[in-house]
Amino acid sequence: MSDDIVSVPLPTSKRFVNLTGKTFERLEVVGFAGMKPVGHTGRQNGAFWICKCRCGSVVEIYSHALLNEINRSCGCLQKESSAELKKTHGESYSVEYDALHNIIQRCTNKNHPQYDGYGGRGITVCDRWVNSVLDFIADVGRRPSPLHSIDRFPDNNGNYEPGNVRWATGKQQTRNRRVTTTMTHLGKTQSFGDWSDETGIPISILYGRKENQWSDEKCLTTPYLPRKKPMVDHLPAT
């Protein structure tokens, strides 16, 4: 409380509007502080009011600022809202925010060029992330390097939700993107497992070949030669 702000008698002019007792959001006008110079030149006088802010501070505010809602607190309101802004939007320029923004757009904005492959296929983003980039960062972490981008893993066809999203390099993403689950050869389409049984080529080898961009035919017709077991030295005869 400032005791140096002393109320002065109100001007007698009939056009003078008494604001005493009025409340402007957090400010309650408790007294008249007098006519004081305002404007650039300082040649004009304006009415100033002693206002008690809800936070306890006492300030002098110009009539014009009260009536036009320029000042609605002692300044505590702006401090709080800028802290609030930082809390919710302080990530506006981060790569993580951009990544999340893109995910949300792909899944929800029908005009997004990639919508058909995401939202159009029923892929969704969890509400937790839609509502908070900070929760997204808490769950997925910061991007480890510019080589990393967002990847759905382990379920590449799953939703954007905790447990199914990670930062991965392009290499990691291709390795795990087994969009192809079947191969076709001589008019027959079946799973990698079935082809493995049929050809005797281990399934891991088939996947490996596919990752190296081999054609289905080449994957299935190239003989697989298991590495020869290393020769075991004969034990000396006893």
Q: How far apart are CA 59 and CA 51, in angstroms?
A: 5
What is the DSSP secondary structure assignment for residue 160, as one 8-state letter?
A: B
Mark residues 28-67: x for contact with Zn ion by CB under 5 A, - for none.
-------------------------x-x-x----------
Inter-residue contact 79 to 40 (CB < 8 Å): no
Q: How far apart are CA 201 and CA 195, in angstroms?
A: 8
Based on CB atoms, which residue is closest to Zn ion, 74 or 168?
Answer: 74
Q: Which stretch binds Zn ion (CB under 5 A): 61-69, 71-79, 129-137, 207-215?
A: 71-79
Q: Does 76 interact with Zn ion (rule: CB under 5 A)?
A: yes
CB of 63 to Zn ion, least distance (A): 19
219 Rama class: left (phi>0) / alpha (psi -120 to 50) / beta? alpha
Q: Binder to Zn ion among 65, 74, 100, 133 (CB under 5 A)?
A: 74
Q: Are strands 58-62 and 44-53 parallel, antiparallel or unpaired?
A: antiparallel
Q: Binder to Zn ion among 73, 91, 104, 106 (CB under 5 A)?
A: 73
Based on CB atoms, which residue is closest to Zn ion, 38 or 58?
Answer: 58
CB of 75 to Zn ion, least distance (A): 6
Q: Are strands 44-53 and 27-38 parallel, antiparallel or unpaired?
A: antiparallel
Q: How far apart are CA 200 and CA 220, in angstroms?
A: 10
CB of 108 to Zn ion, least distance (A): 40
CB of 79 to Zn ion, least distance (A): 9
Q: Which residue has 């080589």 as its token pair?
A: 147
Size of site (CB under 5 A) for Zn ion:
6
Based on CB atoms, which residue is closest to Zn ion, 57 or 172?
Answer: 57
Inter-residue contact 154 to 166 (CB < 8 Å): no
Based on CB atoms, which residue is closest to Zn ion, 55 or 95?
Answer: 55
Q: How many CB atoms lie within 10 A of CB 62?
A: 17
List interacting residues with Zn ion (CB under 5 A). Answer: 53, 55, 57, 73-74, 76
